[in-house]
A and B are shown apart, each in its own frame.
Chain A
């Protein structure tokens, strides 16, 4: 336990804050500490968590992606027409198609970044606009309701009737989210590629010198992000049972904020699946708690903004004491 606190200061701090908030809300609201509330929290956070896993990988590799939420909308539209064209489809085809399309869009970002040496924030702001503009232009802003039945059917992976008669349920997106979390964890912690992604984000020149394939890193990071964006898009349509061109735009900043709150560093080399998970949950629980307490939804963004500022300043203060040390000061500890 002590080891965990030392090795993962951000994660442990997040966990403590999360527990504190949960304890507070449990006393402040009757309906917070209930199974029904927790399952609905998970259902509502699933999409953001899937995206967060993709974005985490991009941040670790030293990049950033603003375009993924819009890319997810593009994937949704293409999927609707593709399923129509092949006469229905099923979940297997759907997941492969959505992940593949998303990955393709991610590769566009990676190509621009790697081949033309443009920094990722500029590239993805550009593709964000290009994707969205193209989507609105081609769809004329039309909503699509003609989704195949398998896509919009509610699939429960867990249900339980509580004492007061209400149902606690977990839906398919939650299962997919857990699969995405697990896959991302394996990728970045247990594969050689994952460690190369960390190294590349940490010190790109150093990674190049030890023989890391730099182009591959960009394509893997943005490809993973794209696949997660596509799968997230597929799941979001499963929940809302329609496809709306501007339904997802703006979500990218919520997810980015949560991932950064979870300890991923803009600049690369740092971030963990656990931190990312806790970051998204912290934002979701705060929102949930404010709702239960009857606070105006307008106040919500303000509170989340405040939490992020506090969390980031704390982590900066933490290693700021080291960063402010010049190399000379470090030496004194051993001299």
Chain B
């Protein structure tokens, strides 16, 4: 089912690869995939983790060689093999997710670094470096202090620096790997504006992104890969998020609103007038038994800060938190865990899991007391029972509980974090951005678990800056802006675009 469209530009395509296959140890990473990008086109490469996106990029940039040799054209020239240097010389640049920048060096040096590499060692002038960097930034219509240390810039500006660096090396085709993964909505918009400017100048941009909304917003065509095979190339016009998800995963997802009426359930968590100076003020809400309460708003609205206070990690300046009608005085998150509040952090890679440790050890970390015998030593049998219970409960697919957590996929890691906190048998579960870095397919699995937990009576506060996520999965939605709750919505009574307009402004 290929619905190829040609973008109406007379020039030859930026690149065109035919029938690329690549196997690693008998596994088809790519199976007969053809790929073409027009000059100046903004294209999206979509697919779940492990679908072959990175392999394809690495073949285009000469890092890998395809099995049967390369049959390709780069800017109208036939190419039979490719090396990373050759690709760079021909104007192909990749901006990886980690950006590969130098935080201790200045913005100017980061942008113009390419001019400092290669050739014989020689003297250079800072003036020239600055001029080159200035020119690159000006062409993006962005202003950043050239003398600033890169490490002091927010992620969004570092992203721009990485793009400017690609321009300095005369890139005509830029791959961007998950460029918006850690950006706020307004920063994303600024980045997309830069991408449009690049495109207008004839530079092709290939987006690799999990966020389907922006993919559809910016790209003219989308190439979908699944399990190393080409599913098809589609125009984005008329494409919907749910259809794209379907193409990527090969399964249909229910995107009906899941909200139920929970207004008559018993209140579990009651928050009144909660204020923490500079972070949020006068927060009041009731979270009921079996309810999924969505908390959305732009990054910086104070959502995560509120989560931290509810979990006892920071002290409020005013207001009360009551659990089951009893006011809590949380001095630390240990108190919160004791009281029955669990918090799954946004940055689960850094804060939620001890990556090199085993799945089992990670899972039992907050409940070591529970599985210890009277001498204070950990009982292996108790640990294994607990681990087995939660692995089955959350359908975590793993080789063995003793494998390091780092070997799991994003979705499964998220489940291990969930299991870890559920093992504390909480009454309230706070989920902060539960799907950051998780595949579309795996997201659905996580929300199924969330729903199941709610149905078993757990009260869940789900924090997310992706409005559709809360819209489809929460029973009720609170909108937070500038530290205050500014609106409450019932997903059954509102359309998604209205809610998005309210939040994203």
Contact = CB atoms under 8 A, between A and B. Distances in A.
Q: Do A and B bind each other?
A: yes
B361 interface: no
B300 A331 contact: yes
A202 B113 contact: no
B104 A198 contact: yes
Contacts of A332: 299-300
Nearest to B119: A192
Nearest to B88: A211
Interface string B415-437: 00000000000000000000000
A265 B149 CA distance: 15
Contacts of A114: none
Contacts of A269: 102-105
Interface stretch (A74-82, A127-135, A321-329): A321-329
B154 A210 contact: no
Interface string A191-223: 111011011011101110111100000000000
Contacts of B462: none
B101 interface: yes
A211 B117 contact: yes
B420 to A, nearest CB: 20
A335 interface: yes
Interface in A203-258: 203, 205-207, 209-212
Contact of B155 (A191, A205, A331): A331
Contacts, number: 105
A7 interface: yes
B199 interface: no
Interface string B99-126: 1111111000100011011110111100
Interface in B319-353: 346-347, 350-351
A206 B102 contact: yes
B182 A209 contact: no
Contact of B100 (A186, A198, A209, A335): A209
Contact of B105 (A190, A198, A211, A322): A198
B122 A192 contact: yes
A335 B300 contact: yes
Most chain A beta-carbon neighbours within 10 Å: one of B102, B118, B157, B347: B102
A330 interface: yes
Given A326-B347, A328-B347, A195 B100 contact: no
A178 B428 CA distance: 67
Interface stretch (B183-191, B259-267, B390-398): B183-191
Interface residues of A, number: 33
A334 B152 CA distance: 12
A331 B187 contact: yes
B187 A196 contact: no
Nearest to B153: A330
B104 A202 contact: yes
Contact of A193 (B96, B105, B121, B156): B121
B299 A192 contact: no
B152 A322 contact: yes
Contacts of A207: 102
A210 B117 contact: yes
A327 B157 CA distance: 12
B357 interface: no
A195 B346 contact: no
A202 B99 CA distance: 13
Contact of A205 (B85, B100, B350): B100
B299 A328 contact: yes
B93 to A, nearest CB: 10
A195 B116 contact: yes
A203 B114 CA distance: 15
B352 to A, nearest CB: 12
A13 interface: no
Contacts of A192: 116-117, 119, 121-124
A195 B109 CA distance: 8
A213 to B, nearest CB: 9
Interface in B152-190: 152, 154-157, 182-184, 186-187
Contacts of A270: 104
B405 interface: no
Contacts of A335: 184, 186-187, 298-300
Contacts of A211: 85, 88, 114, 117-118
A328 B349 CA distance: 14
Contacts of A265: 104
A148 B85 CA distance: 53
Contacts of B114: 210-211
Nearest to A192: B116
Given A191-B123, A330-B154, A335-B299, A206 B116 contact: no
B187 to A, nearest CB: 7
B103 A202 contact: yes
Pairs A-B, 9 closest by C-beta atoms: A335-B300, A206-B100, A269-B104, A332-B300, A202-B102, A193-B121, A330-B154, A192-B116, A202-B104
Given A212-B117, A322-B151, 10 more contacts: A191-B121, A192-B116, A192-B117, A196-B117, A199-B109, A206-B99, A210-B117, A265-B104, A331-B300, A335-B300
Interface of A: 7, 186, 190-193, 195-196, 198-199, 201-203, 205-207, 209-212, 265, 269-270, 322, 326-328, 330-335
19 contacts: A191-B122, A192-B117, A195-B113, A195-B124, A203-B100, A203-B101, A203-B102, A205-B98, A211-B114, A269-B104, A270-B104, A326-B350, A328-B346, A328-B347, A331-B155, A331-B156, A332-B300, A334-B156, A335-B186
